Amino acid sequence: MTTTKTWTRQAIKDELLRQNKTLTGIARDAGLNETACRQGFIGSNRKGAEALAAALGVPFREMFPDSYTRGRHDAGEGSSNQKPNASQKRGSAVDNARGVA
């Protein structure tokens, strides 16, 4: 049986130091705002958290199992709409008649 590591904030900081990486550097490399990974680290920026997990080579759901709700960015999860909605516009005849003044 394999056990997954619990990624506490301290464990993430330790891994960043071990790999000689910074939150700002990871955000820049991912093309995000410099604060994105710091915000992701505390749970307020999903893209920053995803970049952080990718840079450390850890699956996102393993690093942040409870911080972010499952959503459209999770692999294997589709949208709640199983099929695309048809256009809301209906093909009705255009009324070209004008009122008599």
Q: What is the pLDDT of residue 73?
A: 55
CATH code for residues 9-63: 1.10.260
- Domain edges within the chain: 9-63
Of 58, 73, 51, 76, the closest CA to residue 6 belongs to 58
Distance separating alpha carbons of residues 77 and 81, to the nearest angstrom? 11
Q: List, run by run, the mean pLDDT of 10-residue segments along the chain (101 residues).
A: 76 94 95 94 91 94 80 53 56 59 58
Distance separating alpha carbons of residues 37 and 45, to the nearest angstrom? 7
Q: What is the pLDDT of residue 79?
A: 47
Q: Among the residues of the chain, which ranges form H helices? A: 9-18, 23-29, 36-42, 46-56, 60-63
* Torsion of Cα atoms, 49 then 55 then 59 then 60, to 10°: 10
Q: What is the pLDDT of residue 77?
A: 47
Q: What is the pLDDT of residue 26?
A: 95
